[in-house]
Amino acid sequence: MEELCGAGAAAPLRREAEEPKQGSVLFLGGNEVKSSAVVKYSSAPPQAAFARLQEKTDLKLPPANWLRESAKLGPAGTTILGNNKKSKPFSSFGMAYDFIDSVGNDVDVVSDSENIKKLLKIPYSKSHVSMAVHRIGRTLLLDELDIQELFMRSSQTGDWTWLKEFYQRLIDQKWQRKKKSKEHWYQKAILSKFLYYSINGDGAAQPVPSTSKQHQEGPVSGESDEAGRASWPAPFEMPSSLSEDPGASNQRSVPLEPSYLVGHVASAAKEQNLTTLFNDGENSQGLKNDFVRNILWTFEDIHMLVGSNMPIFGGGRYPAVSLRLRDNNKPINVLTGIDYWLDNLICNVPELVMCFHVNGIVQKYEMIKTEDIPNLENSNFSTKVIKDIAQNILSFLKSNCTKEGHTYWLFKASGSDIVKLYDLTTLCEETEDKYQNPFTMPVAILLYKVACNMMLKKNQNKKHYGTIRTLLLNCLKLLDNGRHPQIIASANYMLSELFQLDEPKKEDGADFPINGNSDESYSEEEEEMPDSDENGSYSNSSDPPDDNKAVAIIKSVGELSVPEKYKSVHRIRPSCAFPVCHGTEERCRLVLSYVLEGLKSVDSSVKKEGDLPAADPSTPIPLKYEDESTSGGPECLEKQMALFLDKMGSFQKGKHSSQSGMIPGSWQYKMKLQLILKSSKAYYVLSDAAMILQKYGRALRYIKLALQCHDTYCCLCASMLPEVLVFLCQCLTLCGDIQLMLAQNANNRAAYLEEYHYQTKEDQEILHSLHRESRCQVFAWATDLLTDLECQLSVSCKCYEAAYEILLFSNLKNQNPEQHIQVLKRMGNIRNEIGVFYMNQAAAVQTERVVSKNVSTTEQQLWKKSFSCFEEGIQNFESIDDATNAALLLCNTGRLMRICAQAHCAAGGDFKREFSPEEALYYNKAIDYYLKALRSLGKRDVHPAVWDSVNWELSTTYFTMATLQQDYAPLSRKAQEQIEKEVSEAMMKSLKYCDVDTVSARQPLCQYRAATIHHRLASMYHSCLRNQVGDEHLRKQHRVLAELHYSKAVRLFQLLKDAPCEFLRVQLERVAFAEFQMASQNSSAGKLKTLFGALDIMAKTKGAFQLIRKELLAESEQIRKEKSGAENVSPNDSSAALNKEEVLKLLNIFESRMSFLLLQSIKLLTSTKKKIGGIHEEEVVLKTNKQVYSLLLRATANKSMTLLERVEVILNLLEQLTPNAEASNGGVQ
């Protein structure tokens, strides 16, 4: 059993636990009980062997070394010998502070071993039991509550009178001080001398401190028992010094280092460790862990952290033994046996050495194994029963001590069988100030420390956040802001840190189980629940009415021996779940509520400066709002930006000041910085959420608050940490986004204005706290709600520029490449927006300019502004290799060039108009920019939509330029042939970039454009052919080209189902072209062939006329329905695109040309028939043509026919012509 060697080994330092030494699992009392112990800490020197005293040694005589220190004994000789002093009332807290990791989690009970023994002896003992019980998480802290000592103090000071009265009324009406007998002090004295005799050593004796004598000697040294009462601290009052100096180092003010700012916050440059909350205050308040040993004792399934002062010696068959002195005339009883057995179990000591004496004269020694103690004569007890008692008491306490932070009192009167549990906190609050309970402060500090410890564990799963939150909320309930502002501020900050602001919404409740297991879960606000009568365990129902103050009652101590009597009545609700926030706003609002409480604590502890006006939290702080007329527009922005960047530069140099008089480096200063930063982040997240919901006024208000927080942070902070600067960039970037959205949604301005000016009381109070430190106006230029579109766009741009500048001069762009790219993207985008804004303004000015021929300076200014914006935007996108966006901006620059070209067209009448060199210059510049855009993209795969868009714009530019050159030919400067060549080239280039094959929404447009180009080219060559004389080769070429382009135009117009008029016009031009050719033909056969070809062209227009008829029918149906009062018919149901005037014009031409062609064919066919005799086919054709001609003449003569009727006549005639046209073609050939 070598583990036992460590039982008394010295630890090098307090709070440095040894390597855990797992005690052996002892199966004692017939395999009934499992027990193991690990020494967590020991201050004892290496254990000395005990000296066996000679018989007849008189223990009444003091040994030479009595009460003296020796090197062998270590500095606390008296302690190692197991001074039998009373347990201090806060002994469990001292242990809990030292082993904070175990509290609230792994350990069920923390207590002095004496208290544990007293509890386990309840069914066997008639003596009274009085203990304070506190719950921290799943751990119970047990401390002796010495009522007699407490009431002696109450008599002198007047404190605790309420408890004294309550005690006298309910429990012991004739309470009086019970003095300890002389026998008690006699036994204490001879035990002390016996232990000193047993140390085998005679080092140089030195007098021991008088405090040790008080505890050791008792009356022997002539001291009264009152000295032992010094261990009770005074109730926690606020000392006068605290109100004057918040940083004073005393117990009540709990000095803190900045390291209490736990969790990873943006400003934490490096990992910080939590410092001890108490300095010297611990010792003075009796909160020191002064046990010789702290042992983690596992008894069956109960884990206990136990403090023990039992002396352990070497010698015997084992490396460790405990030494006991017994009066031979008094047999060992059950209580003594249990005492010895438990002491040895707790300390893992395998053997007991008993020295018997009679009247102080040593008689004999006896060695007893620990496992044999339960079977000693007169001291028989069942270890299994002790196990059941332990489990029942623990279950009883855990079931009823449910409220964290409350002091419970477990009380059994002397000689009584009834054990009662009272909630002293509730009783105290009914009568007096909660600080009359001396346990209030230590409990609060312990709750705080456990929460801190859990927060500092970086690998801590979020499922513990609910536990941490409950610990902190219960801690705050116990604290008073006037007395403990520092802990309150810190606890509130930690509560705010529990809510992860940057998480996606789905995680709000995902990681936090709604229910934990019953051991770990407890409620910070336990509702009153009816007592359970299950198994008859405990009930108030049959008790006298006086007992209604008790939380729970064990009616008979005998019940504790019944196995699992209280096992099934745990009433701990699993209510420690982290609150599930339904949305980002709720989460941020919770964070801000904690931040506000923290700020209030900090502000209340800072001395009020005489010149600082007291802010009234009920008065809203006006949010600055300026009309653009007073704000000075973009020029004013430049100055504000320069001032802002200058100030940012000064932050880098480390200038800072606090208006409220906070001392840099003080806890208030450090805490306020963290709280302000947290609130800034919360407002940023709220702003982002409002932005997503398109509540832009609200978003601007929140980002304004975020930046005001940041402004205050900057005023206080000596040096800006990189993380904080990156966050500032994010805020400015979001502010830029919001201003841009406000500019783009000007229609809802009234709603946004209302959202912007709304303020919650919480926001006002946070602002008041901020205004204690700074004016919060550094970012006013960025966060005002403007009504001028240009100003809004400029502010947006300035926000991005400010963010970019910060990244630049802080050298942060390399560490934060993503942020850098985002800012540059937004800068490119806003410059595009501003460029487009100026470009549209220029276009508007241009449309208004009717009379003046010259371009105005206003237009030119707008072009320059627009152009420089596009240029800067292109540079932004190119610097981050964003080819797509760079292409879009190049495309917009091309559009600007086209607007410039349009502005230069002469304003005179159309008959004088010529295509000017300025127009040509700007159109060519536009073409250059579009080609650059295509080069930027490289290939269509990069971004098909942008690629197609640029191609379309390029095609349009070539087409417009060609059309203008064709329609307004610059004949005064160029020859006709040159113009025709240039038009042809431009048209062919337009065709090149006009993609008719790719299926897309733009395909019909492309087909229409291509058809129009072919039509225009065909018309041009047709015109050339008519006007040209001479060069036969060129004429032939033009004829071929005209025919080619006409046929292509026809083919494309046929694909389109919504261009019948265009199709008809092309076909009529082809007929005219045929007529022109026929005029130059001499032979009848040739003329006849051309005529039949022209008639065939006319016959092919049937499809176009069918489309026209369909649209006319739909239109007449529409009119009929409207007349009959039919509802639900919109006037645009039919294709309103049909131009009736155009149709009428084309129909007239068509009728005249058809009439002419039919007449010519009849003449030619008749003359041919006379010459060569009739051919059957030609006779049929002639007959049909005559018939059709006759019908046509009648129809044209009838002026009363409607357009629809005329179209139907044409369709009917074309129907008759179609087969004959084919036959005659065949016949002629």
Q: Per-residue pLDDT tens for 637-662?
A: 566 656 666 655 554 444 456 677 78
Q: Are 476 and 492 in contact (CB under 8 A)?
A: yes
Kindly give, in sequence order, each residue whose CB lies less than 8 Å from that of residue 720, ignoring residues fewer than 6 positions away: 651, 652, 714, 810
Q: What is the pLDDT of residue 22?
A: 42
Structure tokens at 474: 């219960």
Q: What is the pLDDT of residue 867?
A: 94
- 344, 318, 369: which is closest to 47 by C-alpha? 318
Q: Residue 202 — very low, low, confident or very high, per pLDDT cuts 50/70/90?
A: very low
pLDDT over 50 (residue 291): yes
**Per-residue pLDDT, 583:** 78
Which pLDDT value is given to residue 621?
A: 53
Distances (CA, A) of 62 to 79, 197, 951: 18, 9, 113
Tokens, residue 876: 């932004």
For residue 729, the tally of other CB atoms under 10 A from its CB is: 26
| Residue 1224, pLDDT score | 52
Query: Residues 588, 472: contact at Cβ < 8 Å?
Result: no
CA angle 120, 124, 130 (to 5 degrees): 55
Q: In degrees, to the nearest 5, what angle opens at C-alpha 485 toward C-alphas 484 and 490?
A: 105
Q: Rounded to whole angstroms, what are the CA distances from 377 to 27, 336, 350, 828?
A: 21, 12, 19, 96
pLDDT at 78 over 60: no
Give the model's pLDDT for residue 175.
Answer: 54
Under the banding of pLDDT at 50, 70 and 90, the label for residue 76 is: very low
Are 724 and 673 contacting, i.e. CB atoms less than 8 angstroms apart? Answer: no
* Predicted confidence (pLDDT) at residue 57 exceeds the cutoff of 80: yes
Give the integer Cα–Cα distance in Å for 337 and 331. Answer: 10
pLDDT in tens, 1099-1117: 888 888 888 888 888 888 8
pLDDT beyond 70 at 253: no
Q: Range with the lowest mean pLDDT among 259-263, 353-357, 499-503, 653-657? A: 259-263
pLDDT for the residue 46: 75
pLDDT tier for residue 527 given thresholds of 50, 70 and 90 = very low
Q: Whole-angstrom Cα distance, residue 766 to residue 709? A: 9
What pLDDT does 830 receive? 94
Beta carbons within 10 angstroms of residue 475's beta carbon: 29
Res 215 pLDDT > 50: no
**Tokens at 1147, concatenated:** 């129909």
Task: Give the max Cα distance, the chain.
Answer: 175
pLDDT score of 441 more than 60: yes
How far CA 1165 is from CA of 1074, 1157, 1158, 1176, 1222, in Å, comes to 18, 12, 10, 12, 15
Q: Are 789 and 743 in contact (CB under 8 A)?
A: yes
Range in 478-492, 568-582, 709-723, 1130-1144 the model is least confident about = 568-582
**How does strand 33-42 pair with strand 293-299?**
antiparallel
The stretch 120-136 carries a mean pLDDT of 88
- Helix, strand, coil: what percent of the chain each, to 5? 60, 10, 35
Q: Say how far apart CA 675 and CA 491 lie, in whole Å.
A: 11
CA distances from residue 268 to 60, 449, 676, 819 in whole angstroms, order as listed: 65, 20, 14, 20
pLDDT at 851: 56
* Residue 958 predicted with pLDDT over 80: yes
Mean pLDDT of 949-963: 91
Range with the largest mean pLDDT of 198-207, 827-836, 1189-1198: 827-836
Residue closest to 327 by CA, chosen among 319, 317, 336: 336
Q: What is the mean pLDDT of residues 1027-1044?
A: 82
- For residue 845, what pLDDT is reported? 87
H helix or E strand, kind and range, residue 135: strand 129-136
The tokens describing 815, both together, are 């560490």
Least confident of 349-363, 641-655, 680-694, 1159-1173: 641-655
Of the listed ranges 487-491, 815-819, 1000-1004, 1218-1222, the least confidently predicted one is 1218-1222
Going by pLDDT thresholds of 50, 70 and 90, the confidence category of residue 256 is very low
Lowest mean pLDDT among 210-219, 720-729, 950-959: 210-219
Res. 957 pLDDT band, cuts 50 70 90 = very high
pLDDT at site 740:
93
Least confident among 90-94, 272-276, 385-389, 1123-1127: 272-276
Angle between helices 667-692 and 584-605 (to 10 degrees): 160
Average pLDDT over residues 1128-1151: 69
- Name the token pair of 522: 């407890």
By percentage, how much of the chain surpasses pLDDT 70? 73
Is the C-alpha dihedral spanning 1169, 1173, 1178, 1183 positive or negative? positive
Phi, psi of 515 (to 5 degrees): -125, 135
924: which DSSP letter?
A: H
For residue 1217, give the nearest of 1184, 1182, 1177 by alpha carbon: 1184
Measuring CA to CA, which residue among 407, 402, 440 is closest to residue 426?
A: 407
**Per-residue pLDDT for 207 more than 60?**
no
Neighbouring CB atoms inside 10 A of 716's CB total: 20
Task: Compute the mean pLDDT over every residue in the chain, rounded to the nearest whole number.
Answer: 75
| Local confidence band at 458 (pLDDT 50, 70, 90 cut-offs) | low
